[in-house]
Structure 1
Amino acid sequence: MKGRSWLFLCLVTIVSVLLSACAFNLFANFELRDLLTRGSVEQRLQAASNALSGSNYDAAIALAGSVLNELLGLDLTNEQLERLLDSTSTVYEMAQALEDATPTDELIDALKILVEAVARKTNKDVTSLAEEIFEVLQELGVDLGPSKSVSKQNTEFWDVLEAHAGTLISLLANTFNARHVLKLLTSGYYFIAKNSTEKDLPAALCVFYDTGYMFNLLIDVDDDGDITDEQFVKDVITDPASIVEFSQRAESGLYNDLEDCKEFVWAYDVLKEMLDVLSIEATFTTLDATSLSQKETIYEVFTLLFGE
């Protein structure tokens, strides 16, 4: 009898715990939707900040996104906000709206929360990346440090790239997946850098994600937003010293794709502007989408950008 009573008590306890957990999750979800529906901008910003601090990135993204939705005059539903990163078109709509937005403190605060939550959720948080990435990029002439500095001049691009190709590609391939996320991060930090008093750090972050966006556009031939499945990436990881040979025969993701080329030119202009903010000297060529779309291989695009 005692055994049966003890078993019954255990079952009741287990069920109670499960029900409590469900109730908590339902309450949390109800509370989130209530804030999305009826919360003021101030309430949603505070809740988004708290969610970010508590590593509840989904809630932070939805709440910060809802503030942007209101301030940018978009018409996104709560369901779209709760699954913001699942929709390429929604992310691009938000990124496009930022280009013409009037800066306000609330808009910038919401953007800061959104981009940080997105970066952490998608494992694109710069602070979590290996330091060697920055060292290699600096050798290529891109200094992503928060303090102003001048990059090296007359960098032997191909020599540096050959020396570090394996490290670069293997470390950055996964980071530079999810093209629409990179677009959102680039656009967000671009807006913040242009409209904040503290410009160095957001400008450096914008350069990083913008470079990743361009890298994705260039390598992603099948336009699925990811590059880890591209043969060029697999080849370089296997045999980094042959990157020049691989690039000479690998088709560019920009080839005969005018829309991607327009995005690449936009990102290239963003890069120039942000490097200027950081007082980083760099040599740029003149790009136009039509001529870019006629470059068949990755090597041809690299040559256009960096010279022989």
Structure 2
Amino acid sequence: MKGRSWLILCLTTITLVLLSSCAFNLFANFELRNLLTSGTVEQRLEAASNALSGGNYDAAIALAASVINEKLGLELKVEDLEKLLDSTSTVYELAQAIQSATLTEDLLDAVKILVEAVAFKTEKDISSLADEVIEILQDLGIDLGFTKSKSNGSDFWAQFETNAGTIVKLLAETFDGRNALKLLTSGYYFIATNATDNTLPAVLCSLYDIGYMFNLLLDIDDDGNVSDEKFVKDVITNPASIVEFSEQATSGLYNDAKDCEEFIWAYGILEDMFEILSIQATFETLDATTLSEKEHISDIFNTLFGE
């Protein structure tokens, strides 16, 4: 009897703990939904900031996005806000609206919270990426604002070949998640073009923008990730053959007008950020038709660097 009583007590305790946890989560979800539907801008911004500080990135994203949604009149549904990164169309609509928005203090605060929450949620925050990514970009002659440098196509390609395995592996791991990269690029573009101290936002915008461009270029199946692509795996395995692989691998832009338009959009943002950062670089004039006709990855690099 004692053993049975002990077992019943344990089961009862476990059940209560589980129920309490469910009740807490339900309450949290109910509270979030209530803020999204009826909270003031000030309440949502405060809650978003608290959620970000507490590591509740989903809530921070939803609340910050709800403020942006209201300020820009986007008419996104609560369900869209709660699962923002899951919907490509929602992300693209929000990103486009942010980039061309008129500055207000509330909007700037909301965008800052949004991009920081997205970066942390997707593990693309600058604290975890800076040392490796920026060091490699500097090796390629692209020094994002820390020291001003000049980059040209020949140097870039030569360095890329030399460090191919390491670079491609890092890019693949860093630049998975196309939706997040799109949102981060647009958010930091807005901050960089509106903030008084815009050096770091311009650096971050450039970083995520380059990632977005690589994602579009390497992602053949358009699943938003590049670490699963054959070209990436081949280069990591045999970096000395990157030129051969690039001449054989199909470009993610090939016969894809939409991705080509996105690539040109990202290319223009990079040009704007380099101007802010006083980085000297030559930018070619691109058009979607020409890009979509380039079958291989090497063709795109030759187009970008005018070779």
TM-score bucket of the superposed structures, by smaller chain:
over 0.9
Please show how residues 91-130 of structure 1 align to structure 2 within 5 Å.
91-129=91-129
Describe how 1:1-308 pairs up with structure 2 within 5 A: 1-129=1-129, 131-145=131-145, 147=146, 149-154=147-152, 156-308=155-307
What letter corresponds to residue 15 of structure 1 in structure 2?
Answer: T
The one-letter code sitting in structure 1 at the alignment partner of 2:141 is: G
CA distance in 1, matches of 2:285, 2:5: 81
**Once the two structures are superposed, what CA deviation does each residue of 1:158-182 show, in whole Å capped at 9, x if it has no partner?**
2200111111111120221221221
1:307 CA displacement = 4.1
RMSD: 1.6
Inter-partner Cα distance in structure 2 for 1:227 and 1:76? 29
* 8 A Cα contact 1:190 1:202, kept in partner: yes
Offset, 1:35: 0.8
Letter paired with 2:49: S
Deviations 1:134-153 (A, max 9, x none): 122112121135x4x31145
Q: Please state how far the C-alpha of 1:207 moved relative to its aligned partner.
A: 0.2
Q: Could you list the runs of 5+ residues in structure 2 that have no partner in the other structure?
A: none
Aligned CA distance change for structure 1 residues 293 and 22 (closer, same or farther; 3 Å): same
Q: How much has 1:195 moved relative to structure 2?
A: 0.9
In 1, the alpha carbon distance for the partners of 2:295 and 2:21 equals 56
Amino acid in the other structure paired with 1:151:
S
* 2: CA distance, partners of 1:180 / 1:132: 22
Distance in 1, Cα, partners of 2:76 & 2:92: 12
Aligned AA (2:25): N
Name the amino acid aligned to 1:211: I
**2:251 and 2:296 in contact (8 A); partners too:** yes
1:36 CA displacement: 0.7
* Residue type of the alignment partner of 1:218: L
Cα separation, partners in 2 of 1:302 and 1:19, compared to 1, 3 Å: same
**Whole-Å Cα distance in 1 between the matches of residues 253 and 9 of structure 2?**
65
| Mean CA deviation greater in 96-105 or 34-43 | 96-105
How many residues align structurally?
A: 306
Distance 1:190 1:82, change over 3 A: same
Deviation larger for 220-229 or 50-59: 220-229
CA spacing shift, 1:65–1:215, aligned 2, 3 Å? same
- Percent identity between the aligned chains? 69
Deviates more, 1:41-50 or 1:257-266: 257-266
* Alignment partners' CA distance in 2, 1:266 and 1:5: 68
Q: TM-score, with normalisation over the residues of structure 2? A: 0.95
Paired letter, 1:57: Y
Contact 2:144 2:279 in 1 (8 A): no
Q: CA, structure 1 residues 247+3, in 2 after alignment: closer, same or farther (shift >3 Å)?
A: closer
Work out whether residues 141 and 282 of structure 1, in 8 Å CA contact, stay in contact via their aligned partners in 2: no
Q: Give the Cα separation in 1 of the matches to 2:130 and 2:138.
A: 14
Q: Deviations over 1:96-150 (max 9, x none)?
A: 21233211111111111111111111122222126232122112121135x4x31
> 2: distance between equivalents of 1:255 and 1:10?
61
* SS of residue in 2 equivalent to 1:129: helix
Structure 1 residue identity aligned to 2:303: L
What is the distance in 2 between the residues matched to 1:8 and 1:221? Answer: 56
* Equivalent pair of 1:139/1:152 in contact (CA under 8 Å): no
Which amino acid in 2 is paired with 1:139? D
Q: Would the alpha carbon gap of residues 27 and 153 (structure 1) be closer, same or farther in structure 2, given more than 3 Å must change?
A: closer
In structure 1, runs of 5+ residues without a counterpart are none
Runs of 4+ in 1 over 6 A off after TM superposition: none
